[in-house]
Structure 1
Amino acid sequence: MTVVFECIYDDERHFGLGVPEAGAPLRLYPLAGDTLAALLTTAAGDGADTAALLTRGRAAVDVPAADRHRARPLLPAHVGDALVSGFMMTHNVKVGAEVPDQPNWFVKGLGDVLKVPGEALSVPGDAVAVCEEAEVVLVHVGDERGTPRYAGYTFGNDVTDIGRFKQHAGHLSYAKLCDAGVAPWLHLGEPPRTVTGEVTVERGGAPAWKGPFTTGVDALHYDLPTMMSRLFSYEALHRPGRVHYVYIGADRSSFHAGFRTGDGDRVTIDVTSHGVRLSHPLVWTRRPGQD
Structure 2
Amino acid sequence: MTGNMRLIQYKTDGKRAVGLVAEDGVRAHPLQGYETVFSLAEASIAQNRPLADLVKAAASTETVDYVALLKAGKVLPPIEHPEPARFFLTGTGLTHLGSADARNKMHVTTHGSNAPESDSMKIFRMGIKGGKPEAGKIGVQPEWFYKGVGTEIVAPEAPMPLPGFALAGAEEPEVVGLYLVDSDGRPRRIGFTLGNEFSDHVTEAQNYLYTQHSKLRACSMGPELMIGELPQDIHGASRIIRNGKVLWEAEVLLGEANMSHSIANLEHFHFRYRMFRRPGDLHAYFMGAAVLSYGAGVKTQVGDTFEIDVPAFGQPLRNRMELEPDEGLVTVTPL
Q: Please indicate the TM-score interval, normalised by the length of the shorter structure.
A: 0.7 to 0.9
The residue number in structure 2 matching 1:80 is: 85
The residue number in structure 2 matching 1:240 is: 279
1:54 aligns with 2:58: yes
User: What is the deviation of 1:32?
Assistant: 5.4
Q: Which residue identity lines up with residue 226 of structure 1 in the other structure?
A: N
The C-alpha deviation readout for 1:33-55, integer Å capped at 9, x for no partner, is: 78122133357646873433334
The C-alpha deviation readout for 1:54-80, integer Å capped at 9, x for no partner, is: 34xxx6665454488322223122212
1:112 aligns with 2:126: no
The residue number in structure 1 matching 2:45 is: 41
Distance 1:227 1:103 in 2: 7
For residue 237 of structure 2, give the secondary structure of its aligned residue in structure 1: strand
In structure 2, stretches of 5+ residues that fail to align are 101-120, 128-139, 330-335
User: What is the deviation of 1:190?
Assistant: 1.1
Distance 1:202 1:278 in 2: 13
For residue 131 of structure 1, give the secondary structure of its aligned residue in structure 2: coil
Show the 5 A alignment for 1:1-291: 1-18=4-21, 26-31=28-33, 35-41=39-45, 45=49, 49-55=53-59, 62-63=63-64, 65-66=68-69, 69-95=74-100, 96=121, 98-99=125-126, 101-289=140-328
Residues paired across the two proteins, number: 286
Distance 2:51 2:242 in 1: 48
User: What is the deviation of 1:172?
Assistant: 1.2
State which drifts further: 12-21 or 147-156.
12-21
For residue 39 of structure 1, give the secondary structure of its aligned residue in structure 2: helix
For residue 249 of structure 2, give the secondary structure of its aligned residue in structure 1: strand
User: What is the deviation of 1:283?
Assistant: 1.7
Distance 1:250 1:102 in 2: 17
Q: Is the 8 A contact 1:85 1:108 kept in 2?
A: yes
Which is higher, the Rg of structure 1 or of structure 2?
A: 2
Bigger strand share: 1
In structure 1, stretches of 5+ residues that fail to align are none
Q: 1:33 to 1:26 in 2, by over 3 A?
A: closer
Instruction: Provide TM-score, normalisation by structure 2.
Output: 0.77
Q: Is the 8 A contact 1:121 1:283 kept in 2?
A: yes
For residue 184 of structure 2, give the secondary structure of its aligned residue in structure 1: coil
Distance 1:212 1:106 in 2: 25
User: What is the deviation of 1:19?
Assistant: 5.3
The C-alpha deviation readout for 1:1-52, integer Å capped at 9, x for no partner, is: 2222222333433211125768x56431343578122133357646873433
Q: Is the 8 A contact 2:31 2:55 kept in 1?
A: no
Q: 1:47 to 1:170 in 2, by over 3 A?
A: closer
For residue 175 of structure 1, give the secondary structure of its aligned residue in structure 2: helix
User: What is the deviation of 1:170?
Assistant: 0.7
For residue 99 of structure 2, give the secondary structure of its aligned residue in structure 1: coil
Distance 1:53 1:29 in 2: 8
> What's the % identity of the aligned pairs?
26
The C-alpha deviation readout for 1:168-210, integer Å capped at 9, x for no partner, is: 1011111011211111311111123122111221222222212
Distance 2:326 2:96 in 1: 33
Q: 1:94 to 1:266 in 2, by over 3 A?
A: closer
Distance 1:182 1:47 in 2: 20
User: What is the deviation of 1:154?
Assistant: 0.8
Q: 1:281 to 1:6 in 2, by over 3 A?
A: same
Q: 1:240 to 1:19 in 2, by over 3 A?
A: farther
